Structure 1
Amino acid sequence: MSKKYPAPAGLSKKANARWNDVVKRWDLRPDELRVLEDACREMDIIDSLQKVLAEDGPLTTGSMGQVVAHPALGEIRQHRSVLAGLLRSLKLPDDAAGAGGEAEGRSSAARKAAQSRWAVHHGAAA
């Protein structure tokens, strides 16, 4: 557990582990901590919905007796999209780049420079 940024109350073990991993590796501003908390809570919502889906199956009976997709499928999709957006907004480096994040930053900068050179060379520069 991070002593500097303890995990918010009520998180699952999995979400708590994610919180601790992030705050241990990076210093976050208060607004970023809030985004991280929201992301951890989204993880818990997704896990809860997946449990419901595992119990009920992917299909259910609609109001007219027809077979329909379980409503949890759409909810899971929406919450995954929200989670992805929250994590993306934190702008944390990829895990493969390492905790320092410098490799990811250099890689992105190198890619942008190469694309710029290509654009200039091929007459596509703006």
Structure 2
Amino acid sequence: MAATAPRGLEAKGKRLWKDTTSNYELRADELDTLEDICREADLIVRLEAELDGAELITTGSQGQDVANPMVSEIRQHRATKKALWASLKLPDEGTAGNQQRAAAQTRWAQTRGKVS
């Protein structure tokens, strides 16, 4: 059963939360990381909306052409989101690693009387 999404998540974050918690049983620390991922995803959507239609090249403090700072900001948040996903170490769907994780979760549940 999927864990309840944290308050304040927007559409993209809620979708990521639901998709991930529906497919994986996560520990409390992993849920914290997933929440951070979802919040980063929502922030990236908001930043991209700000950049949409804006000039990609702006004028710097010395009158020179510079990249719009939003481009760099979005790149940094995407890198953060990617690093957070990597830290979860979730196996790809259908891989042996996923089967091993499922087996481990079943053993864990059986030892705690959660599954018969």
Answer whether TM exceeds 0.5 for this pair. Answer: yes
SS of corresponding position for 2:39: helix
What CA distance in whole angstroms lies between the structure 2 residues aligned with 1:12 and 1:59?
29
Q: Which has the larger radius of gyration?
A: 1
Deviations 1:74-120 (A, max 9, x none): 111111111001001111122xx33xxxx2428xxxxxxxxxxxxxx
Q: Is the 8 A contact 2:11 2:42 kept in 1?
A: no
TM-score, reference length from structure 1: 0.71
Equivalent in the alignment of 2:73: 75
Equivalent in the alignment of 2:4: 6
TM-score, reference length from structure 2: 0.77
Equivalent in the alignment of 1:22: 20
Equivalent in the alignment of 1:61: 59
Q: Percent identity?
A: 48
Structure 1 portions without partners, runs of 5+:
107-126
What CA distance in whole angstroms lies between the structure 1 residues aligned with 2:50 and 2:21?
30
Structure 2 portions without partners, runs of 5+:
99-116
1:1-126 matches, within 5 Å, as 2=2, 5-94=3-92, 97-98=93-94, 103-105=95-97
The amino acid that maps onto 1:27 is E
The amino acid that maps onto 2:82 is A
Displacement, 1:57? Answer: 2.5
